[in-house]
Structure 1
């Protein structure tokens, strides 16, 4: 069994963010992208040079994903947008949930085929109005519905299984993916205990194991493909939101965190909350893909 207990995550960008999310490694450019949803910011880090760039989005960005044709796809309330970093411009690609006032898009992922999986959620975290979609151009296809906070879409190495979280339900699910992107045989993959945190963003490694960040859970769990808990990486902050494998060997893990929901006393005790962290993994991640649409 791979031991994770000795890993000590290190802060690399002390942003003082509210809700960092959308961890995404762009391999071709060797840069790391992420967002601060509540501050309406998109961030980019070049680890080789240390260069840091930030852009203000017109609305809350839930995720940002590089496109094969250039630029990036950004999920914001009621649509997917093309983002051109050079111009700082946003162009709407397609509407999403224009009929669901009070929702926003929350987390996204590009699978090995270039298909985008993403979720929506109740912005006030007060209704089961969230859903999961996939998108390959054209209209997004809704594949799951009735979830308050959707999170963590990720796929198995062979692309046949989708993992996702019902954050408030403290449950990680798995479902089989059909050739057309349809889902079947949805089942519980793992449950998080009442006082152990809330499952947030995820990533899958080269061994097919699922890594999940825990909001109010002080770290990241690693699960075997059969749902067995294998290890835990403890953080100095309680709200871990998402991770991505990067670097030339895909063993450098970048992790977003949040200060959202912390009291003043908790913030004082966790001065690094809302910052970006990194650590070295003993196992490589999967090669990231670009959006083909």
Structure 2
């Protein structure tokens, strides 16, 4: 498998890729800029929207809006009015040192998102769940960098990465009430390898973007390593499945924290890439609320 650069968009810190199989649109965020791109798959034409705050993660809603995890917590962005509406009493609204970083929508249409300190120094990150009625709950604490998350194809297991602990956790998942329990280490990495965002395919396998790693690492459902797919960029940040048959892995990258010399060595930093696989991804649910 080979990674190829796609789309003429240039995020500084690309993250949070999302694929819409209905409109054939690809989305990704430029995190610290507070923007996201909406790209037409066929033409490559892109529109950029700025939500007004650092934007860690976004997802599509049933009602056509965009649900977001931003600096101040949860909100909804309306492309028609270019307005961000925060959820009342949003969980992070008075916490200046922390922001939302990554998230996903569960099979029942609830939105999960987690936080980190801007410098990733301390274990003050939390995992939140936004419910259909726009109330929210805290599900996990003491996380350093809350990152890539998703569910097994049967919806019975939830997975979440803590980048600076070099681990992917698994939890038993009660899909009826959206509760997590019985945390275990599902995949662990050496101290010098940093898992970032990820995608889970229809067979339950993991495709993990490796920050500072120049690669996507592919594991089977049990967590057994299968292969590494090289990318010509140091900071690989996240991925999702898309394309006509949902077998194309769409990858985001970053030029954040690269020195002038490293930028010269990483001319494609920030670009998006496609990788053709022989495994179908899962259709990502939409937020129902």
User: SS of 2:165's equivalent?
Assistant: coil
User: Once superposed, what is the RMSD of the aligned Cα atoms?
Assistant: 1.4
Shift of 1:127: 1.8
**Given that residues 14 and 274 in structure 1 are in contact (C-alpha distance below 8 angstroms), is that contact kept between their aligned partners in structure 2?**
no
Where has structure 1 moved over 4 Å in runs of 4 or more?
none
The residue that corresponds to 1:68 in the other structure is 62
The residue that corresponds to 1:3 in the other structure is none
Shift of 1:268: 0.3
Question: How far apart, in 2, do the equivalents of 1:89 and 1:16 lie?
Answer: 23
Question: How far apart, in 1, do the equivalents of 2:98 and 2:58 lie?
Answer: 18
Q: How does 1:36-75 map to 2 (within 5 A)?
A: 36-75=30-69
Shift of 1:260: 1.1
**Given that residues 27 and 288 in structure 1 are in contact (C-alpha distance below 8 angstroms), is that contact kept between their aligned partners in structure 2?**
no
Question: How far apart, in 2, do the equivalents of 1:169 and 1:194 lie?
Answer: 8
Aligned residues: 286
Question: How far apart, in 1, do the equivalents of 2:17 and 2:4 lie?
Answer: 16
Shift of 1:99: 4.7
**Given that residues 202 and 213 in structure 1 are in contact (C-alpha distance below 8 angstroms), is that contact kept between their aligned partners in structure 2?**
yes
1:107 is the counterpart of 2:102: yes
User: SS of 1:266's equivalent?
Assistant: helix
Question: How far apart, in 2, do the equivalents of 1:233 and 1:34 lie?
Answer: 21
The residue that corresponds to 1:131 in the other structure is 126
TM (normalized to structure 2)?
A: 0.95
**Given that residues 149 and 158 in structure 2 are in contact (C-alpha distance below 8 angstroms), is that contact kept between their aligned partners in structure 1?**
yes
Shift of 1:240: 0.8
Q: How does 1:188-199 map to 2 (within 5 A)?
A: 188-195=185-192, 197-199=193-195
TM (normalized to structure 1)?
A: 0.94
Question: How far apart, in 1, do the equivalents of 2:85 and 2:182 lie?
Answer: 37
Question: How far apart, in 2, do the equivalents of 1:118 and 1:205 lie?
Answer: 20
Structure 2: which 5+ residue stretches go unaligned?
Answer: none
1:222 is the counterpart of 2:218: yes
Give the direction of change, closer, same or farther, for the CA distance of 1:159–1:85 in structure 2 (3 Å limit). Answer: same
Question: How far apart, in 1, do the equivalents of 2:53 and 2:283 lie?
Answer: 30
Q: What per-residue deviation string (whole Å, max 9, x for no partner) do you get for residues 220-254 of structure 1?
A: 11111211111111101011111010122111111
The residue that corresponds to 1:122 in the other structure is 117
The more displaced of 235-244 and 16-25 is 16-25
Q: How does 1:139-288 map to 2 (within 5 A)?
A: 139-178=135-174, 179-195=176-192, 197-288=193-284
Give the direction of change, closer, same or farther, for the CA distance of 1:117–1:182 in structure 2 (3 Å limit). Answer: same
Question: How far apart, in 2, do the equivalents of 1:13 and 1:63 lie?
Answer: 20
The more displaced of 266-275 and 87-96 is 87-96
**Given that residues 223 and 229 in structure 1 are in contact (C-alpha distance below 8 angstroms), is that contact kept between their aligned partners in structure 2?**
yes
Q: What per-residue deviation string (whole Å, max 9, x for no partner) do you get for residues 23-55 of structure 1?
A: 111122110111011122111111112111101
Q: What per-residue deviation string (whole Å, max 9, x for no partner) do you get for residues 154-194 of structure 1?
A: 11001111111110111111111123222111100111123
The residue that corresponds to 1:4 in the other structure is none
The more displaced of 85-94 and 123-132 is 85-94
User: SS of 1:96's equivalent?
Assistant: coil
